[in-house]
């Protein structure tokens, strides 16, 4: 097997087709037809071995994670993911690894109707870069810039479990069933594309939680030019974080990344309608705070005090 039969066998044959994909894998570039009155949104995420995943992980799980973190970026923009390309760097031609990886990738992309349209395959230290493209009606993409004082801050699900999984990565002293739940949170995050209609209709800003709630919310605050106060008692923290880290639960929720839930802001006067829309869609989200004119991130404690919070999260440099 060489580079080209590898691409054909593991990626081309497994790629799904969409009518807006004129041609994909096999030419020097793919050709896409963007529907009229739609905007194209583009995003890239790289996963490096030893940083975002361990080389010992099942390649099937690595593929799921790589795809989901990219799909999550589209969800955070309220864009419907449509096409993806893959730049894959492998230390060796390992057919077993490729079989599991390409299966995980195809199985993750299929339910979202995302077509793999091309890529690049090279030899070197294991790393996976996906370039994802999605569509939104013209002007409907939700940015980080639109939060206004008085807006309510919402979170699409519970947080902290993925960071707890990282904490227990080399620790097998915890209950194996709990460890399995945590590893699933870390390896198989669920991109919240189910929130796209809610974001398009109500959100003034949105972001996905990749580095940690405080760091990611702070991106919204900086981009929007405002501050926020979080109700620290209302953070939807995963039950296992409470169980294993009772005294540090809020820290895990604020600083722990990898959850890929969505944090979004909505105007206070639309809150009732948004909550009704959530119920209609079978979704749940939690109000965790409010945008304020005063810059900076603050937190309301259970004793009723307001404390300054640091915008801490994962940073590569
Ligand atoms: P070129 O030499 O013109 O850069 P390549 O030989 O790198 O082309 O790739 C041949 C075709 O296979 C291209 O259409 C490219 O997009 C696609 N491709 C390469 N690697 C991958 C991959 N890992 N997954 C999907 N498509 C790939
Ligand atoms: Mg190439």
Nearest to 51 by CA among 62, 40, 43: 62
Q: How far apart are CA 9 and CA 61, in angstroms?
A: 20
Angle at 172 (CA atoms; ends 169, 175), nearest 5 degrees: 110
Residues with CB under 5 A from ligand 2 (ion): 120
The predicted structure's pLDDT at residue 114:
98
222-280 residue pLDDT tens: 999 999 999 999 999 999 999 999 999 999 999 999 999 999 999 999 999 999 999 99
Whole-number Å distance, alpha carbon 232 to ligand 1 midpoint, is 48
pLDDT at 315 over 80: no
The predicted structure's pLDDT at residue 265:
98
pLDDT at 313 over 80: no
C-beta of residue 224 within 8 angstroms of C-beta of residue 205: yes
Q: In the structure, which protein residues have their CB atom closer than 6 angstroms to any atom of ligand 1?
A: 7, 11, 25-28, 86, 88, 116, 118-121
The predicted structure's pLDDT at residue 311:
86
Q: Is 58 helix (H, G, I), strand (E, B) or coil?
A: coil
Whole-number Å distance, alpha carbon 118 to ligand 2 midpoint, is 9
The predicted structure's pLDDT at residue 101:
98
Q: How far apart are CA 65 and CA 185, in angstroms?
A: 10
Nearest to 232 by CA among 155, 141, 135: 155
Number of the ligand closest to the Cα of 115? 1
Put simply, whether the predicted model's pTM sits higher than 0.75 gets the answer: yes
99-139 residue pLDDT tens: 999 999 999 999 999 999 999 999 999 999 999 999 999 99
264-310 residue pLDDT tens: 999 999 999 999 999 999 999 999 999 999 999 999 999 999 999 99
Phi, psi of 289 (to 5 degrees): 170, -165
31-83 residue pLDDT tens: 999 999 999 999 999 999 999 999 999 999 999 999 999 999 999 999 999 99
Kindly report the protein residue whose alpha carbon is nearest to atom 3 of ligand 1: 28
Whole-number Å distance, alpha carbon 120 to ligand 2 midpoint, is 5
Nearest to 253 by CA among 216, 281, 224: 216
Q: How far apart are CA 140 and CA 97, in angstroms?
A: 40
Q: How far apart are CA 80 and CA 76, in angstroms?
A: 10
Q: Where are the alpha helices (DSSP H) in 110-204?
A: 161-167, 176-187, 196-202
* pLDDT-derived band at 314, boundaries 50, 70, 90: confident
Q: How far apart are CA 43 and CA 134, in angstroms?
A: 9
Kindly report the protein residue whose alpha carbon is nearest to atom 16 of ligand 1: 118
Provide the mean pLDDT of the chain: 96
The predicted structure's pLDDT at residue 100:
98
Whole-number Å distance, alpha carbon 108 to ligand 2 midpoint, is 24
Which token pair is 281? 């869609």
Q: How far apart are CA 62 and CA 54, in angstroms?
A: 9
The predicted structure's pLDDT at residue 1:
85
The predicted structure's pLDDT at residue 46:
96
Contacts 24+ apart (CB under 8 A), 47-50: 47/127, 47/128, 47/129, 48/125, 48/126, 48/127, 49/125, 49/126, 49/127
Q: How far apart are CA 76 and CA 196, in angstroms?
A: 8
pLDDT at 317 over 90: no
187-213 residue pLDDT tens: 999 999 999 999 999 999 999 999 999
The predicted structure's pLDDT at residue 251:
95
């Amino acid at each position: 097997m060489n580079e080209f039969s590898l691409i054909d066998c593991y990626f081309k044959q497994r790629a799904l087709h969409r009518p807006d994909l004129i041609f994909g894998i096999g030419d020097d570039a793919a050709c896409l037809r963007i529907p009229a009155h739609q905007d194209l949104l583009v995003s890239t995420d790289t996963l490096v071995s030893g940083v975002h995943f361990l080389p010992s992980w099942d390649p099937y799980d690595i593929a799921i994670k790589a795809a989901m973190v990219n799909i999550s970026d589209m969800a955070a923009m309220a864009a419907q993911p449509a096409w993806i390309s893959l730049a894959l760097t492998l230390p060796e031609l390992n057919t077993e690894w490729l079989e599991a990886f390409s299966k995980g990738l195809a199985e993750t992309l299929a339910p979202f109707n995302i077509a793999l349209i091309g890529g690049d395959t090279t030899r070197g230290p294991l790393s996976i870069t996906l370039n994802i493209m999605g569509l939104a009606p013209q002007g409907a993409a939700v940015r980080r810039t639109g939060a206004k004082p008085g807006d309510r801050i919402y979170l699409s699900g519970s947080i902290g479990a993925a960071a707890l999984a990282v904490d227990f990565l080399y620790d097998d002293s915890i209950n194996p069933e709990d460890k399995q739940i945590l590893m699933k949170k870390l390896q198989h995050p669920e991109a919240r594309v189910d929130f796209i209609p809610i974001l398009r209709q109500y959100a003034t800003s949105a972001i996905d939680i990749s580095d940690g709630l405080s760091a990611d919310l702070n991106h919204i605050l900086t981009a929007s030019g405002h501050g926020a106060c979080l109700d620290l008692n209302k953070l939807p923290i995963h039950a296992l974080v409470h169980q294993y880290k009772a005294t540090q639960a809020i820290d895990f929720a604020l600083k722990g990344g990898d959850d890929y839930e969505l944090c979004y802001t909505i105007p206070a006067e639309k809150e009732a309608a948004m909550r009704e829309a959530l119920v209609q869609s079978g979704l749940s989200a939690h109000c965790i705070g409010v945008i304020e004119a005063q810059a900076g991130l603050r937190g309301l404690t259970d004793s009723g005090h307001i404390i300054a919070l640091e915008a801490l999260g994962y940073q590569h440099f």
